[in-house]
Every structure is written in structure tokens, then in C-alpha cells.
Structure 1
Amino acid sequence: MELTERAHWFVLAGDHLIWLDEADRVPHCTRQALPLCWQALAFEEFDLWEGAPCYLHDLGEGESLLGDSSEFGELSPLRQLMMAGDEEGFRLGGRAWQLASFRRSHKFCGECGAPMTPKTGEWAQGCHQGHMAYPRISPCIIVAVRRGSQLLLGAHRRHYQADDPMFTVLAGFVEAGENLEQCVAREVFEESGIRVGNIRYVASQPWPFPHSLMMGFTAEYQSGEIRLQEEELVAADFFELDALPRIPPHGTIARRLIELCRETL
């Protein structure tokens, strides 16, 4: 790495925290232009962004500050990049986080218990017995269910705010032995009691909370009345597409599915 090479610098810490510059962006500069406390860090290249390399350093779970934060910006939640509309910064920050999380959780081999070390030439961990581990990716479905001019939305218990609830489309993890369409039908029925059909794939999005690959679908209501899976949902209902409650922000695949349904009214 040359000191005069312009690059994107991803410094992570804690739980989904990232250092941002004064403009709330991932720093893009030469190594010489970094704060002095950064210049001595050991960075690893993990991707490219508009032709410039992306470098990663993970401070670890216990670190919260690196020197005087006023020098180079605040330690911010990774979601802040998404909320600011920086879709590529959020994607690459999410990739950086998943790689760092993989290293944290694979210090020892799951087969023999021996210490694991990074493998040269690829993002993997290996032990002296030759066992290899690669970053975990968890496949998930997320689905917008239409009933005429209405959309099925739920308020999830894990981030529910009683004073200003956010409603979103339903989602869930793929189980062993099922295909994506089966997962869509099962998750919707389990969470809401609704049967769906005409399941259609739309798009996908990596989602680093913690290491998911979201695969987006649309589906049509077939039958049933709403019956909540209370461990997952606080509330759910069919909302008119021209009168929706608070929904997820732009940059999320949930919002993309909702907007797609609006466009096809």
C-alpha cells in the first residue's frame, strides 16, 4: 500500500459501529491524510469502490474510541450510512462488518478446536489440521403481500416504538430443506395466518445484521384472517397503498418492495 494511494478506509469497532468523517461518509483519502492515530493501524484490502481500494481494520468488540474522536469524526452506527442515502457506502460497510465479525467468531476451529489464522489469498480462516472456514451467509426471504389495493405490513417486536411504530413487510430465515418460495409461504402463514400464492422474485440485498442475504419477493393474498405470531409481531394489518403508516427508509429492500407495489396500483 503506497502512502500516496487514495483509498476508502473502514475502521470498525464494537457492535456495528464505524468511523465516519466530518461529512458522515467513509473517509476517502491517502494514508498520509489519515489522522496520525490511524496511520499505524494494520489495514487489509477487501474490495474496490469506483476503482479505489477499500481497506478494513477492526478495533474489536471492546474498543469504543481511538484517541480524540474530534480529530476525525464520531463513532457511528453502520445504519447511519443507509439513513444518509449512501447506498454503496452502506453496502461496503456491511461487507466489512461481516468479514470482521467472521474473524471475531472464528478464532478457533469448529472441528478440532485448534487456533485459526487468516488464509493467504482469500477471506478464510484455517487451522494447522487443514480445516477451513468461510464467512457465514444466512439466506432470508422478505415479501410484500398484496390484496387488491392493500399491502400486508407488520410491526416487529424487536424494534417496536409505541409512540411512532414502523410497519414493514414480513421476513424470515430459510430453513434446511426448503426452497425460497416454500419459505415465503411458511413465514407469512406463521407470522400472520395468511395464505399466499403467485410468489414472484424481485431482487436481493446483503444485510449485515448480522450476516443475512435478503431475497425479496411479491405475493398475492389467497385466504385467511390475520392471526399474529406474538413472539415476532406486535401488530399487523392490510393497509391501503395510498395511506401507509411509517415504513422503512429508502435504501432498504423492504422499501423497494413497498414502492414497487405502489407503482403497480
Structure 2
Amino acid sequence: MKSHSLQLKHHDQGYWFVVNRGKLKLTTESLSIPFGAWNQQQITEPEMICHIGQWQEQPCYLVVSNDQQQEPEQWHSARALLEQAEQVWFELASRAVQLALFLQTHRYCGQCGSKMQLVSWELAMLCHKCGHRCYPRISPCVLVAICKEQQILLARSKRHKPGFFSILAGFVESGETLEQAAVREVYEEVGIRIQNLRYAGSQPWPFPHSLMTGFLADYHSGDIVCQEDEIEEAGWFDFAALPDIPPVQTLSGRMIRQLQAETSADE
């Protein structure tokens, strides 16, 4: 998908992903993306508009808004669209939120300080003075679902509500492979060693610009020791009695259910 700066006419139609301070403007009835002609009255101070894709033969646009967030009940995170019937809405909304952050944080060149512009033939910001070019940042993050017989290791970070558990996660560091990051993060966060690491899938995640990469693994050795200031609690949970876990629309939720199904089939 190519993105480029646009000057839209009032009769141009499409799906509008209006982003302000990391939030999307959604209709309150069904949390849907507005469709119709461009209406300057809807966003009085658009900072930038760009094409971000297509859905059902209609163009999709990102509008970065500087307006004050009137009617706060209409502004939601991209996660609000995660459980919609059409998965494409979450995917496009995630793309819009990530690109809005990229555009807002690359107004000026980090090399010479001059104003940057969105180029028309690829998704990049270009400084015409020194030639410095920036592309949207993507931060790879590993998710690891660890199985031990009929149990899975789940943890709760300080950011999660009490009773909600998920699999372990962490960002990839410079110079690491995804597999090395998975092994390191598990040992750092809960103090155990894993084996039989295998790829499970990936999912873009707009908080703020992550790419989640999932791995399944088997327990090898060690006792759970939670990393201070990171993991509030962790433990082995029977697949037959899981706590509150992420929804199936998330990669972590799918991985937990995949291991649950595999262990059930082995019985």
C-alpha cells in the first residue's frame, strides 16, 4: 500500500480514519469508520491527509487532526475495533494510528533541523535540504507461549487488571534475532529456560508501532522468579481452568487457544 500527501476535493469519497493524539474518531452507534465525501466542517484544521489503502474498491484516508477533541465519547483507541466482525477495520485503524504518529514526530529533520515533507511515491518523510529520509518506525516484539505437560505459563504485568493474565512479551534488542529475544525475555521475566522454540505468527499492533511476533515453546528447566517492576505475578495454569485471557482476535489469545487445542488432542 502506498501512502502520499493529498489535497482532497469536497466530492472525493472514501473511508476516513481521523486521528487526534493517538485516538480515532468513530461513530458512537457502532464504532464504525465514517464513509462519505470529504467534509471540511468535520475537521477544521487537518495537519496532513494521506491515502493508506483500499477497502471494497473505496479509498481509505488518514486525516491527522489538530482540532480539540470535541465530544470525547467519539474518540477511541484502535483496540475498540479489534472485536468488530470485519478484521480489516482494526488493521486499517492500526495503520492509521501508527502513520499519524510517524507524521507528527517527523515534522523536522533529525539531521539538519529543516522541515520535512511526505514524499509522493513511497511512505517516507524527506528533507529536501540535506536529503535525509525517514521511514515509519516498527518495533518488533516477541510473544512466547510456554507449555509444560497440561499447563501453560501465564503472567500478569503491573499494567494489567487483577485476574487478567497473558503470555510473556518483550521488545527485541539491537543485534538480536527474534529467537534470541524470546529466550532472553522469558529468562529475564520469570527465570526459566525454554526449548523447542517454534514460530506461531505475527500481528501489527498500534501501541504505538509494534509488530508482534509469536513463538510457542516447551518448558526446559528452572523455577518461576518474577522480574521486579515488570511482572506482578506468574504461574502455571491448567488448560482446563484458564483465568481471564486476551480475546481470540489478538495474537496472544490465538496462541493460548492453539496450545490448549493441541494438548486436548494429545490426550
Alignment TM-score, normalising by the size of structure 1: 0.88
Which residue number corresponds to residue 18 of structure 2?
Answer: 11
How far did residue 133 of structure 1 move?
Answer: 0.5
Which residue number corresponds to residue 120 of structure 2?
Answer: 120
Question: Take 1:23 and 1:87, find their aligned partners in 2: how far apart are those partners?
Answer: 15
Question: Take 1:85 and 1:226, find their aligned partners in 2: how far apart are those partners?
Answer: 38
How far did residue 160 of structure 1 move?
Answer: 2.6
How far did residue 198 of structure 1 move?
Answer: 0.3
The letter for the 1-side match of 2:145 is: A
- Among all aligned residue pairs of Structure 1 and Structure 2, give the percentage whose two residues are the same amino acid: 39
Gaps of 5+ in 2: 1-7
Which residue number corresponds to residue 250 of structure 2?
Answer: 252
Q: 1:64 aligns with which of 58, 69, 82?
A: 69
How far did residue 27 of structure 1 move?
Answer: 1.7
Deviation track 1:217-248 (CA, whole Å, cap 9, x = no partner) reads: 10000000000012211000010011011001
CA contact (8 A) 2:125 2:135 kept: yes
Matched, 1:20 2:26: yes
Question: Take 2:45 and 2:244, find their aligned partners in 1: how far apart are those partners?
Answer: 44
Q: Cα gap change, 1:110/1:38 in structure 2, threshold over 3 Å: closer, same or farther?
A: closer
CA contact (8 A) 1:85 1:250 kept: no
Count of aligned pairs between the two proteins: 253
What SS is found at the alignment partner of 2:63? strand
CA contact (8 A) 1:31 1:39 kept: no
What SS is found at the alignment partner of 2:121? coil
Alignment TM-score, normalising by the size of structure 2: 0.88
CA contact (8 A) 1:7 1:55 kept: yes
Alpha-carbon RMSD across the aligned residues, in angstroms, is: 2.1
Which residue number corresponds to residue 187 of structure 1?
Answer: 185
The letter for the 2-side match of 1:202 is: A
How far did residue 4 of structure 1 move?
Answer: 5.6
CA contact (8 A) 2:10 2:40 kept: no
How far did residue 100 of structure 1 move?
Answer: 0.7
Deviation track 1:91-111 (CA, whole Å, cap 9, x = no partner) reads: 111101111100111112122
Which residue number corresponds to residue 217 of structure 1?
Answer: 215
What SS is found at the alignment partner of 1:231? coil
How far did residue 80 of structure 1 move?
Answer: 0.8
What SS is found at the alignment partner of 1:43? strand
CA contact (8 A) 2:43 2:65 kept: no
Q: Cα gap change, 1:85/1:155 in structure 2, threshold over 3 Å: closer, same or farther?
A: farther
Gaps of 5+ in 1: none
How far did residue 180 of structure 1 move?
Answer: 1.0
Which residue number corresponds to residue 154 of structure 1?
Answer: 155
Question: Take 1:250 and 1:261, find their aligned partners in 2: how far apart are those partners?
Answer: 13
Which residue number corresponds to residue 129 of structure 1?
Answer: 130
Deviation track 1:175-221 (CA, whole Å, cap 9, x = no partner) reads: 11111111111100100001001000011000110111111110000
Q: 2:61 aligns with which of 48, 52, 55?
A: 55
